Amino acid sequence: MRSLMLRLVGFTGAPVLSALAPFIILPVISRLVGDQGWANFSAGQSIGILGMVAVLFGWGIMGPVRVARSDSPTERAVILHESIRSRLVLAVIAMPVAGIVAGLVSGPSYRVETIAVAVAMTAGGLTPAWFCIGQGDARGLMIFDALPKLAASFIALPVMLIWGSVLAYPILLIGLTVPVYALHAWLNAHARLRAGQQTAAFSRIIRALAPTAVIDATGNAYGSTSIPIATAGLDATDASAFASADRAYRIGTLLVVAVGNALQAWVLDRSAVDARARHRLALCAHGVLGVMGGLGIAFLGPWATALVFGPRVAAEALPCALFGVAFFCISMATPLIRNLLIPDGRVRIVLASTVTAAAVGLTIMLTGSALGSAAVISLGVAASELSALLVLAGPALGVYRRSGDAVVRDEVSPEAVPPAI
């Protein structure tokens, strides 16, 4: 239990520090750009998240499982090297595409800044965070992911106040994170790869990761498009208020990621003799977090966003309540996907849940945009996460019941995932 608590503290610390970065920088940005530019800037961030997902191409889902079940530093180096090759190629494509889309979606206010933040966020797909999670390396997660982002925010803060432009943030974000990502790659991939060690070809890597990449992309299709949809269909004031509610929700989900990161390698430990008990603890932890976080967003969201982002762009009560429902659902779905279904090779079930969620969520969100209703768009976010949870719950319960008899899978790699869906 002591080692588990240390793991929770270590893996929670890095995402919490990452969460501090937006709290440091976003209040300044929201006040500099006002209600005319806040929705645009938030849309650029959301588009950048989609670009980041494209660069990761499933490594964030399958990568930690492969690393956690690898047997040697050399094997882990091969995994990391394969990911670097694929992600660099995809980054060259995704970064300009994200900038173009951001320019098309945003209004005239702060368009250049919106494009810049979309490109900077897309570059985040080169992060080694998933590799550190699979290793159970909280220190590496802190050094190579959290601290560079925090440093970018701290340095950008006075620069923006003096310069009066928010361009400093995306520029510093790229300038401080990408070199650190490269350093991690050198230390953990190139320096540890034995001479003559062969890695898979790019086309084979892409084919193997395609199922999980589709899941990730589909999930983010409804998870990260709410702000661009709101920006396109609402007036600037309503879109900015919606963006504040969404931003509070996204920052809150970092805690879900933190708990999931802390528990994943521990739950999937092949030497564990109490697999079902470990799964049960993870489910309980995410349940408690979901209830507390959901209530916090619902009841404190309007007050907190007014305090942090300014009263001109404060979130409204009903969208915050619906985002609270979404938070509970995503918290509960996280261990079902990461600890039960994906390690068991149930990729089709996870894909079915994301497709269902995307169909339900996007339909309602687009309807809300057409009606000019922020509340209906928020309902789409909540309905999407609830739909995903309902699809996942039954199959995940079956895997959980079997987990007490044997380790779910002795080996999981992209090659073990069914090639066709």
- The torsion angles phi and psi of 353, rounded to 5 degrees, stand at -65, -40
pTM: 0.71
Q: For residue 9, name the pLDDT band (cuts at 50, 70, 90).
A: low
Residue labelled with tokens 């440093």: 151
pLDDT at 143 over 80: yes
Q: Indicate whether 98 pLDDT > 90.
A: yes
Element (H, E) at 169: helix 168-185
End-to-end CA distance of the chain: 40
Interhelix angle for 236-267 vs 2-56, to 10°? Answer: 130
Q: Which two tokens stand for residue 42?
A: 């938030």
Classify residue 417 as left (phi > 0), alpha (psi -120 to 50) or beta.
beta
pLDDT band at 414, cuts 50/70/90? very low
Q: What would the mean pLDDT of 35-45 be, rounded to a whole number?
A: 81
pLDDT of residue 413: 35
Distance CA 11, CA 136 (A): 8
Tell me what pLDDT residue 321 has.
Answer: 97
Give the DSSP letter string of 259-326: HHHHHHHHHT-TT-S-HHHHHHHHHHHHHHHHHHHHHHHHHHHHHHHHHHH-GGGPPPHHHHHHHHHH
The HSE-up count of residue 155 (CA atoms within 13 Å, CB side) is 17
Scanning the structure block, which residue is given the tokens 């003559």? 196
Give the tens place of pLDDT for each residue, 217-236. 776 666 678 888 888 888 88
pLDDT at 326: 96
**Calpha distance 125→178 (Å, rounded):** 10
Name the pLDDT band for 407 (thresholds 50, 70, 90): very low
Is residue 375 a contact partner of residue 318, using CB atoms and an 8 Å limit?
yes
pLDDT band for position 23 (cuts 50, 70, 90): low
Nearest in space to 49 (alpha carbons), one of 109, 102, 85, 112? 102
What is residue 287's predicted lDDT score, i.e. its pLDDT? 95
Q: Which residue type sits at 324?
A: G
13 — pLDDT class (breaks 50, 70, 90)? low
- Which residue in 152, 195, 192 sits closest to 72, CA to CA? 192
Instruction: Please give the pLDDT value at position 250.
Output: 85
CB atoms near residue 211 (< 10 Å): 23
Average pLDDT estimate for 316-332: 96
pLDDT of residue 11: 55
pLDDT tens sequence across 78-97: 889 888 988 999 999 999 99
* 134 touches 64 (CB < 8 A): yes
Q: What are phi and psi of 318, to 5 degrees?
A: -65, -45
